[in-house]
Amino acid sequence: MKVEPQKLIPSNLIESMHQKINIALAIIYSIFLVACGADGDRPGYEYAPQMYHSVPYEGLSQVTEEGKGQLISNREDGKGEFYNSNPHNPNRMTMRQPPENTVSRNNYGLLPINIPKDSLEMAERILKSPLPDSDEVLAEGKALYDRFCEHCHGASGAGDGLVGQVYLGVTPYNSATVKDKGEGHIYHVITHGKGRMQSHASQLEPMERWKIVRYVQTLQK
């Protein structure tokens, strides 16, 4: 059996073929990029256009035009989805209505009002504790006071805590200028700080502040 000798391809021919393939791929890639571009009235092509051009809704606004703003129709009638097609939204609003007999919640716990930092008189007049006057609340207030306040104000509220002994000027709770301050005043100071005392809003939840207020009122006496 006679074996035919293997024919070899010249290296220069192989190199020429590689160059032609690379040129062809570059041309195809360029055509692909040009085809995706926008020009004049041509919008071009986009991958997942609904992600590039999302349809936001304005709060408390009503959408009354059927199909307004839709990009891709997912309805059998071809009109596109629109907010008012939701059967559970009879008022055609773009946000849910709050439950009945509720008020908004903010930094003050249960009051729908924001009081400026320097409005201590307003805070004392408006802010009222939502917690009951119970031994349980008082005990929890003492535990929180010992953890967050005692080191400056002292165990009895005399301003003689370990820190208060170094940084003098912590006013005793039973002093003439402090003993008659109301719960709203105390809560506001805990929330925003006063003088060298910084805000404790980041360390204490609103209900925890009210518990401390209840205990501080016992030290005022």
DSSP letter, residue 71:
S
Q: Give the fold, CATH level 3, of 120-219.
A: Cytochrome Bc1 Complex; Chain D, domain 2 (1.10.760)
Domain limits, the chain: 120-219
pLDDT for residue 53 is more than 90: no
- What is the average pLDDT across 124-128? 89
The predicted structure's pLDDT at residue 108: 45
The predicted structure's pLDDT at residue 84: 46
How far apart CA 96 and CA 90 sit, in angstroms, is: 11
183 confidence band (pLDDT: 50, 70, 90)? very high
The predicted structure's pLDDT at residue 195: 87
The predicted structure's pLDDT at residue 80: 47
Higher pLDDT, 201 or 98: 201
Mean of per-residue pLDDT scores for the chain: 76
Higher pLDDT, 7 or 29: 29
Angle of helix 183-192 relative to helix 206-219, nearest 10 degrees, comes to 130
Least confident of 6-15, 33-42, 57-66, 156-165: 57-66
Q: Which of 138, 137, 141, 114 is nearest to 127 (CA)?
A: 114
- Pair of tokens at residue 147: 């953890």
pLDDT-above-90 percentage for the chain: 29
pLDDT for residue 153 is more than 50: yes
55-113, pLDDT tens digit by residue?
565 555 555 555 444 444 455 655 544 544 555 555 555 556 667 776 555 544 444 45
